[in-house]
């Protein structure tokens, strides 16, 4: 499906949310692809919401841009009036909060629609950016589209979306086996590795982990040490009898010397201490496939 379908979906939700939150009718809605040089597209102030899909290697931003601060205040004032809130007449914490909520609502509806169209993404909290501009010199192709509509006083509201390709995650399409007796840990790790594009399977003890290794032939194993039926070290020893090279990352809450020595003997890739710092785990996992990200 072409990008135009996604931009049309964005446009639909932009002016729908505007009309619902202000009670005003959006007129003269226009969609434009902004051509290079992108550096000519600038805003004095903007509300920016980043979004990304690590598995499909793209990221972007939703941008509510204003050439004058008074326009930001005017939009927030219209929303406040329609919602029965106190009057807004300056750029303060209330104004910022209203604009953030407006863009959170837009982003949520757009991302939901994109997911139905086949393009999943995760969006992040909004931030205010002063003197926003775009860089044409970063070596990446950036697709930039704007949705603009007119107000009753003939001023305009503009929301942009940028889309650019990112580096492919080295974990994409890798088969990852998570072995831990904690449902919570299995859920969290499965969620994080699936965001990277990995195919994740689970086991709740060392014996099941060993059997899964035989049947699934994973590219990477995340192994807890203390588990019922068969512990992590015994499971690793059995796995090494059938596969000497598969990378194994150990999860531990103790780091006992004898455990470390035994794990080193079986050539584990590294240790992650609990509670798990996800950035550290993902960096170690990516390094198993030649990445230092």
Tens digits of per-residue pLDDT, 121-165?
889 999 999 888 876 445 555 788 888 887 766 678 889 888 876
Quick one: how far is CA 176 from the chain centroid?
A: 20
Coil/strand/helix, residue 200: strand
Q: What is the mean pLDDT of the segment spanning 93-97?
A: 95
Handedness of CA 219, 225, 230, 234 (dihedral sign): positive
Which domains does the chain show, CATH number per domain?
3-165 (3.40.1550.10), 175-287 (3.40.50.2300)
- A 10 A CB-CB count for 52 gives 17
Per-residue model confidence (pLDDT) at position 150: 77
- Give the pLDDT score at 162: 85
Q: Provide the 8-state DSSP code for 37.
A: P
pLDDT tens figures, 215-247 = 999 999 999 998 999 999 999 999 999 999 999
What kind and span of H or E run contains 53? strand 42-53
Enumerate long-range contacts of 156-160, CB under 8 Å, 24 or more apart.
157/18, 157/26, 157/64, 157/71, 157/75, 158/64, 158/65, 159/10, 159/14, 159/62, 159/63, 159/64, 159/65, 159/106, 160/34, 160/41, 160/61, 160/62, 160/63, 160/65
**Residue 209 φ then ψ, to 5°:** -65, -40
Give the whole-angstrom CA distance, residue 159 versus residue 161: 7
pTM flag (> 0.85): no
End-to-end CA distance of the chain: 31
Q: Are 109 and 101 spatial neighbours (Cβ–Cβ below 8 Å)? A: no
Check residue 137 and give its pLDDT. Answer: 47
User: What letter would DSSP give residue 151?
Assistant: -
User: What pairs with residue 149 in β-bridges?
Assistant: 157
Q: Which residues pair with 273 in a beta bridge?
A: 252
pLDDT digit string, tens, across residues 251-265: 988 767 777 777 777
At 283, the pLDDT band (50, 70, 90 cuts) reads very high
Question: Is the per-residue pLDDT at 111 higher than 50?
Answer: yes
Q: In the Cβ-directed half-sphere of 280, how many Cα atoms lie within 13 Å? A: 11
Average pLDDT, the chain: 87
| Strand ranges, E, within 67-211 | 122-123, 127-133, 142-150, 156-165, 175-179, 199-203
């Amino acid at each position: 499906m072409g990008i135009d379908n996604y931009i049309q979906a964005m446009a639909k939700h932009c002016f729908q949310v505007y009309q619902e939150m202000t009670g005003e009718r959006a007129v003269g809605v226009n969609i434009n692809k902004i051509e290079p040089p992108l550096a000519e597209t600038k805003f004095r102030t903007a509300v920016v919401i980043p979004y990304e899909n690590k598995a499909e290697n793209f990221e972007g931003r939703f941008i509510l841009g204003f050439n004058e601060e008074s326009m930001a205040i005017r939009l927030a004032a219209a929303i406040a009036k329609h919602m029965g809130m106190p009057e807004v007449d300056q750029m303060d914490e209330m104004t910022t909060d209203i604009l953030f909520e407006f863009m959170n609502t837009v982003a949520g509806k757009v991302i939901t629609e994109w997911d139905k169209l086949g393009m999943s993404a995760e969006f992040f909290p909004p931030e205010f950016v002063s003197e926003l501009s775009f860089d044409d010199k970063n070596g990446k192709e950036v697709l930039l589209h704007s949705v603009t509509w007119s107000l009753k006083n003939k001023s305009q509201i503009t929301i942009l979306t940028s889309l650019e390709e990112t580096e492919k995650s080295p974990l994409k399409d890798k088969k990852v086996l998570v072995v831990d007796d904690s449902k919570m840990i299995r859920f969290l790790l499965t969620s994080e590795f699936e965001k990277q594009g990995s195919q994740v399977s689970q086991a709740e003890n060392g014996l099941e982990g060993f059997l899964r290794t035989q049947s699934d032939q994973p590219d990477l194993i995340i192994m807890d040490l203390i588990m019922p039926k068969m512990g992590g070290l015994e499971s690793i020893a059995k796995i090494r009898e059938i596969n000497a090279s598969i990378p194994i990352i150990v999860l531990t809450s103790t780091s006992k010397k004898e455990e470390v020595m035994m794990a080193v003997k079986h050539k584990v890739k590294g240790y992650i201490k609990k509670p798990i710092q996800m950035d550290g785990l993902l960096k170690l996992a990516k390094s198993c496939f030649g990445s230092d990200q």
